[in-house]
Chains A and B, each alone.
Chain A
Amino acid sequence: SQQGEEDPQALSIQEGENATMNCSYKTSINNLQWYRQNSGRGLVHLILIRSNEREKHSGRLRVTLDTSKKSSSLLITASRAADTASYFCATDARGGGSNYKLTFGKGTLLTVNP
């Protein structure tokens, strides 16, 4: 089964700086989704980008998708201490029988220092 891989595994920055996290995957996808998880709680959905889209914005978030390289990036601009969390990418594989099941990457732990 495909497995997303995020890098870096951990990222520590100062408040106000930008944070970039990357995700790679192995097979063709319908879409890729980014999530945030605070302290082992539930997942908060951030952005869904479809396989035919290259870039998407939501507030301070910018997601890119390069299907030729099977990779995506999440950029958080002007970071805040409240952005401290784990960030996961998840892919919905293309192909019959996938039934919208998500395969998650290992996640990036982002720490934003005040």
Chain B
Amino acid sequence: SAVISQKPSRDICQRGTSLTIQCQVDSQVTMMFWYRQQPGQSLTLIATANQGSEATYESGFVIDKFPISRPNLTFSTLTVSNMSPEDSSIYLCSVITGPNQPQHFGDGTRLSIL
């Protein structure tokens, strides 16, 4: 399975600042996704990172708040903009190589906003 490196693993940020999370895969993958896991909750899909074009966002998530880039088939970034304490969550990237294949996840970025 693909090896996924996610950076940073954790961060503590000030209110109003922005943080960019990186996701690097060791092989080309078909799809990359970004999920959020709020404290004590399950995972919610933020968006699908599309290679070379704008990401596809799920209901409740907007590009201005969560800009995403995917310049190639192995790398993507998620920025959490103008952070507030409500953004304190674990953010995870995931990848899939094809239909009916396992979707694998990075180790996540644990983000705390003061």
Which residues of A does B touch, CB under 8 Å? Answer: 30-31, 33, 35, 40-45, 48, 50, 88, 90, 92, 99-107
* Distance between Cα atoms of A104 and B106 in the complex (Å): 16
Q: Is the CB of B31 within 8 A of A42?
A: no
CB neighbors of A among B34-58 (8 A): 37, 41-45, 48, 56
Secondary structure at chain B's binding surface: helix, strand, loop or mixed? strand
What's the least CB distance linking A32 to chain B, in Å? 11
Q: Which 6 A-B pairs have the closest CB atoms?
A: A42-B107, A43-B105, A104-B43, A104-B42, A42-B108, A45-B102
Report the contact-size class of chain B (Cβ under 8 Å from the partner). Answer: 20 to 34
Secondary structure at chain A's binding surface: helix, strand, loop or mixed? strand
Closest to B47 in A: A101
Q: Is the CB of A42 within 8 A of B110?
A: no
B7 at the binding interface (Cβ < 8 Å): no
Contact of B33 among A33, A35, A41, A101 (CB under 8 A): A101
Q: Is the CB of B48 within 8 A of A45?
A: no
Closest to A47 in B: B102
Closest to B31 in A: A100
Closest to B1 in A: A45
What's the least CB distance linking B82 to chain A, in Å? 24
Q: Is the CB of B42 within 8 A of A88?
A: yes
Closest to B109 in A: A42
What's the least CB distance linking B78 to chain A, in Å? 15
Q: Across the interface, which residues of A come within 8 angstroms of B48, CB to CB?
A: 99, 101
